[in-house]
Amino acid sequence: MTATASCATTNRMTPARMLTLAALLGGSGVLIGAFGSHGLKSIATPQGLEWWETGSRYQIYHSLALLLCGLLGRTGSAPRLSAWAFVVGISLFSGSLYAMALTDQRWFAFATPLGGASLALGWLSLLPHCGSRPDGTRPCPD
């Protein structure tokens, strides 16, 4: 295998990577949520606490969606676009809410709708994987 082929394989979003990222993002979402509930109450504003809670909730929800991508990839074609969209969406959506909660700087809000759009893309790009068999065929042809 050439160095180029090796790098191409290394940088792919494989089902194993999807599952690893899902575990890391899900676990950190729980920890971040707990920190918001216990550690931020004396620091953040009430609005900041709401942003924090929303960010951690969406991080956990979409970590589960990423887990679904990894599991689908083990039985058929991996929904790579969905997986990337969920990772980018979590980073932008939840990350911008965390940043606003910690700093009260509203300019971070520019990234929130971009993250939301990426999360929506992740769900919508799962549609081609619904109802298909591992070999990519559909049980009932259209």
> Within 10 A of 12 (CB to CB), how many other CB atoms are there?
10
Q: What is the CA radius of gyration of the chain?
A: 18
How many CB atoms are located within 10 Å of the residue 54 CB?
17
Residue with tokens 């887990």: 67
Q: How confident is the model at residue 129 (pLDDT cuts 50, 70, 90)?
A: confident
Other Cβ atoms less than 10 A from the Cβ of 59: the count is 24
What are residue 84's phi and psi, to 5 degrees? -60, -40
Write the pLDDT tens digit of every residue in 39-94. Answer: 998 889 999 999 999 999 999 999 999 999 999 988 877 899 999 999 999 999 99
Question: pTM for the complete prediction?
Answer: 0.85
The DSSP secondary structure of 68-106, one letter per residue, reads HHHHHHHHSS--HHHHHHHHHHIIIIIHHHHHHHHH--G
CA distance 22 to 65: 8
How many DSSP H helices and E strands does the chain contain? 6, 0
- For residue 125, give the 3-state DSSP assignment: coil
* Confidence (pLDDT) at 32: 96
